[in-house]
A and B are shown apart, each in its own frame.
Chain A
Amino acid sequence: MLKKALLASATLLLAVGVAHSATWTGGDDQPTNPLACDATPPTVAAKPYDGGVPTNPPDRKGKPIKVVDVPKLIGIGYFDATSKGIAEAAKELGNVDAKTDGPTKANIDEQVTFIDNYITSGVDGILFAANDPVAISPVLKKALSKGINVVGYDANSQPDARQWFINQSPFNGIAKSLIDNMAKEAGEDAGVAIVTSTFTTPNQARWIAEMSTYAAKCHPKLQFLETVEAQEDNNLSFSQATTLINKYGDKVKGIFGMTSVATPASAEAVTQAGKCGKIAVIGLATPNAMKPYVAKDCVKSVVLWNPIDLGYAAMEVLRATADGTLKPGSTSVKAGRLGELAVINGSEILLGAPFVFTKDNIDKFNF
């Protein structure tokens, strides 16, 4: 009797699910700002500084500092690369003791605890890539109140919870790059599917939202077939991508990989399905994971910024903040071998345009 009730409710849920069909693409519900369809550079409006301010920080100019880097999670190539960049900058600067520590899965519970404990341990600076922009803010504000310098990279917190944020590339810039490349490779009226991490990951949700408005504006014939979740797991991404290929058959001409895990897995799915060249795979990924597919011409271009540069810049910015050379109101900052980086959006530092790895240059990188 209960059994029947349960089966009935399962079918009901299924019905609800079916009603909620898969036309939804996975973006968040915040306002988007699509760029121009051609190569016009975006107009960047100047904004007053909106970052947080540490309370009575000690004078750290020129002195050795201890820094901890708490990424979203450890154990994936992307944050391994940012960690490398941070270590590289620390070594160059000579007066920084930096280490990377973090949770083994991408959730906020553990990340907040890590940061909280490191605050107690008396670090001078914290670098972070947030799992959730709002959830991480209370503990970061606590760090600021103790005079610790706080700089974010890759995934932002709320602006007043950190001093600066290294923006690898504006969300709409990445969206434009991804969509333009896809339209070029798969055709203007291609059916495309998206493999993302989870619908709650802020960066991914932001990119997808920007992608759909940009596509509607500049490539209106692109059809978004479906978006699937694959967490940050290789196997799951592969099986989701394969399911998409099997489900849509010839209708799917392109797959977007929204994480550095999803893109190689999607490329593998396309390869194993024997559809190299028939389905384009465009996405964010680290070069090492993509080398076999680029070599086989299965994947033509991989869009990413250089995560090593990202980590490097984050470390340089933190040092400049601690030394006082970078302050609210500055318009640019010198970041070691990267040169001068511009300040945008009040308290963000722009790394640069997205970097596109292709067959010609991918072998030069090892991360």
Chain B
Amino acid sequence: MAARQSSARFWSGLISAYGQELVVFGCIVVMFVVVGTYNPRFLNNTNLVTIFSGNAYIAVAAIGMSLVIITGNIDVSVGSLIGVLATVAGTLVVNGAPVWVSWLVPVIVGMAINTVLGLLVAYLRIPAIVASLGMLSILKGGLITATGGKWITGMPEGFFLAQQRWLGVPTPIWFMVILTVLAAYWMRVFPAGRTFYAVGGNAEAARAAGIDPRRTCVFAFTLHGLFAGVAAVLFSTQLQVIQSTVPPNLELTVITASVIGGVSILGGTGTVIGSTLAAILFGCLGSAMVFLNVSAYWLRAVLGLLILATVLADMARRSRYQSAATA
């Protein structure tokens, strides 16, 4: 009797803590069932592997974005940043640098650029959306200036990290899973990680508790740069050509993945597991639409509706908890 009560409490505790993540996971399962019934080829090994490994870079970038959003900020320049870092990787390797250098340097450059962004936000008190809007323009314009708009081709075979497989599983999937688990664990367990939640939830209270919100904010941005760098390497090593432009609306996709995954734009809550699941959901949705023969014209409308439905579901769930908590 007592055991049943405590196990019920355990489950309801789990659901309330990971509610949104479970919702997203549930959506993925539903989608697989629906599309798989309509066209079983959707569930093919090759198809699933393609979807996961092709969208892994978005999930990795979303980890970094989630960190920034949890601390109460935002970054709309991540798309341009990934474009710049991809070009850095390609240019290095095409000009003779060793392959591992061309993988490492973008990560370092990403951390450097985003640290500057973090400093602008934390110490010069420029609102994050403004600072990152400005950074977006600087990076976008700078990329075209530096490359002259040319593509990069002719990378050596060893460069293509994203096409390799370790133990039969494509490397992007490894990166996505390992980084997600590491980040989630670190944020929950290590004090340094928990300060992100503290600062995002209530910066003043955090300061009173001895945490320096500014240092935490910069740290979040620096880590975000690291993940953006890894995402850029995965992105640039997938294909034989690196364009000097980035996928349209990449930053919005990454932000949406973070938010749908449960990270609140108000700061203070959410996990990176949610953002990874949401990135997977979106990657699958695009492919699912094609498999379901949805007319290409209505694809984006359906996507928009689904985002809206998920957001509303999340808000409804939150308000239910708030009223339950105050009851």
**A contacts B: CB pair < 8 Å:** yes
Interface size on B, residues (CB 8 A): 52
The proximity string for B residues 147-161 relative to A, scoring 1 for CB distances below 8 Å and 0 otherwise, is 111110110000000
Q: Which of the residues A18, A246, A264 comes within 8 Å of B47, measured between beta carbons?
A: A246
Are A289 and B50 neighbours in the complex by a CB distance under 8 Å?
no
Q: Does B287 contact A (CB under 8 A)?
A: yes
Task: Supply 12 further A-B pairs (C-beta < 8 A) apart from A20-B297, A239-B286.
Answer: A6-B309, A20-B294, A21-B295, A75-B244, A77-B150, A77-B151, A228-B296, A233-B248, A234-B243, A239-B54, A243-B290, A243-B291
Closest residue of B by beta carbon distance from A235: B247
Are B46 and A17 neighbours in the complex by a CB distance under 8 Å?
no
Q: Does A113 contact B (CB under 8 A)?
A: no
B: which residues have CB within 8 A of A?
39, 41-42, 44, 46-47, 50, 54-55, 140, 144, 147-151, 153-154, 163, 235, 238-245, 247-248, 286-287, 289-299, 301-302, 305-306, 308-309, 312-313, 316
A240 to B290, CA, bound (A): 9
Closest CB-CB distance, B300 to chain A, in whole Å? 10
Closest residue of B by beta carbon distance from A231: B248
Closest CB-CB distance, B284 to chain A, in whole Å? 11
Are A227 and B296 neighbours in the complex by a CB distance under 8 Å?
yes
Q: Which of the residues A18, A79, A105, A289 comes within 8 Å of B248, measured between beta carbons?
A: A105
Closest CB-CB distance, B309 to chain A, in whole Å? 5
Are A74 and B149 neighbours in the complex by a CB distance under 8 Å?
yes
Task: Tell me whether chain A's interface is mostly helix, strand or loop, or mixed.
Answer: helix
Interface size on A, residues (CB 8 A): 54
Are B305 and A10 neighbours in the complex by a CB distance under 8 Å?
yes
Known interface pairs A75-B245, A231-B248, A249-B41; A22-B296 also in contact (CB < 8 Å): yes
Taking each of A2, A77, A240, A249, which has the highest tally of chain B beta carbons within 10 Å of its own beta carbon?
Answer: A77
Are A264 and B41 neighbours in the complex by a CB distance under 8 Å?
no
Known interface pairs A74-B144, A247-B41; A238-B292 also in contact (CB < 8 Å): no
Closest CB-CB distance, B86 to chain A, in whole Å? 10
Q: Does A55 contact B (CB under 8 A)?
A: no
Are B309 and A7 neighbours in the complex by a CB distance under 8 Å?
yes
Closest residue of A by beta carbon distance from B290: A243
A18 to B243, CA, bound (A): 34
Q: A269-320: which residues lie under 8 A (CB-CB) from chain B? A: 272-273, 288-289, 291-292
Q: Does A3 contact B (CB under 8 A)?
A: yes
Are B239 and A268 neighbours in the complex by a CB distance under 8 Å?
yes
Q: Which of the residues B47, B153, B239, B292 comes within 8 Å of A235, measured between beta carbons?
A: B239
Are B296 and A6 neighbours in the complex by a CB distance under 8 Å?
no
Are A235 and B41 neighbours in the complex by a CB distance under 8 Å?
no
Known interface pairs A77-B151, A80-B149; A13-B239 also in contact (CB < 8 Å): no
Known interface pairs A233-B248, A246-B41; A14-B50 also in contact (CB < 8 Å): no
Chain A residues near B248: list those with CB within 8 A: 105, 231, 233
A199 to B295, CA, bound (A): 12
A248 to B292, CA, bound (A): 12
Q: Offer 18 A-B interface pairs, CB within 8 angstroms, sorted by A.
A: A14-B292, A17-B298, A17-B302, A22-B295, A75-B147, A76-B149, A226-B290, A233-B247, A235-B238, A238-B238, A238-B239, A242-B50, A246-B41, A247-B42, A247-B290, A273-B46, A289-B153, A292-B240
Known interface pairs A228-B296, A240-B290, A289-B151; A268-B240 also in contact (CB < 8 Å): yes
A21 to B313, CA, bound (A): 30
Known interface pairs A10-B305, A13-B305, A289-B240; A238-B153 also in contact (CB < 8 Å): no
A27 to B76, CA, bound (A): 36
Chain B residues near A3: list those with CB within 8 A: 309, 312-313, 316
Q: Does A124 contact B (CB under 8 A)?
A: no
Q: A20-38: which residues lie under 8 A (CB-CB) from chain B? A: 20-22, 24
A9 to B312, CA, bound (A): 14
Q: Does A236 contact B (CB under 8 A)?
A: yes
Closest residue of B by beta carbon distance from A100: B149
Are B54 and A238 neighbours in the complex by a CB distance under 8 Å?
yes
Known interface pairs A17-B295, A22-B293, A247-B291; A288-B54 also in contact (CB < 8 Å): no
Known interface pairs A22-B296, A268-B240, A289-B151; A228-B290 also in contact (CB < 8 Å): yes
Closest residue of B by beta carbon distance from A265: B239
A239 to B285, CA, bound (A): 12
Chain B residues near A44: list those with CB within 8 A: none
Known interface pairs A21-B295, A235-B247; A75-B144 also in contact (CB < 8 Å): yes
A265 to B240, CA, bound (A): 8
Closest residue of A by beta carbon distance from B316: A3
Chain B residues near A18: list those with CB within 8 A: 292-295
Closest residue of B by beta carbon distance from A15: B294
Are A235 and B235 neighbours in the complex by a CB distance under 8 Å?
yes
Q: Does A69 contact B (CB under 8 A)?
A: no
A49 to B78, CA, bound (A): 50
Closest CB-CB distance, B149 to chain A, in whole Å? 4
Closest CB-CB distance, B171 to chain A, in whole Å? 13
Closest CB-CB distance, B49 to chain A, in whole Å? 10
Chain A residues near B294: list those with CB within 8 A: 14, 17-18, 20
Are B296 and A229 neighbours in the complex by a CB distance under 8 Å?
yes
Q: Does A104 contact B (CB under 8 A)?
A: yes
Known interface pairs A104-B144, A247-B39, A249-B41; A13-B151 also in contact (CB < 8 Å): no
User: Top 5 closest A-B pairs, CB basis?
Assistant: A20-B295, A17-B294, A246-B47, A74-B149, A17-B298
Closest residue of A by beta carbon distance from B301: A13
Are A242 and B54 neighbours in the complex by a CB distance under 8 Å?
yes
Q: Does A46 contact B (CB under 8 A)?
A: no
Q: Does A16 contact B (CB under 8 A)?
A: yes
Closest CB-CB distance, B290 to chain A, in whole Å? 5
A24 to B295, CA, bound (A): 9
Are B46 and A288 neighbours in the complex by a CB distance under 8 Å?
no
Are A10 and B296 neighbours in the complex by a CB distance under 8 Å?
no
Are B149 and A75 neighbours in the complex by a CB distance under 8 Å?
yes
Chain A residues near B47: list those with CB within 8 A: 243, 246-247
Chain B residues near A22: list those with CB within 8 A: 290, 293, 295-296
A243 to B247, CA, bound (A): 17
Q: Does A244 contact B (CB under 8 A)?
A: yes
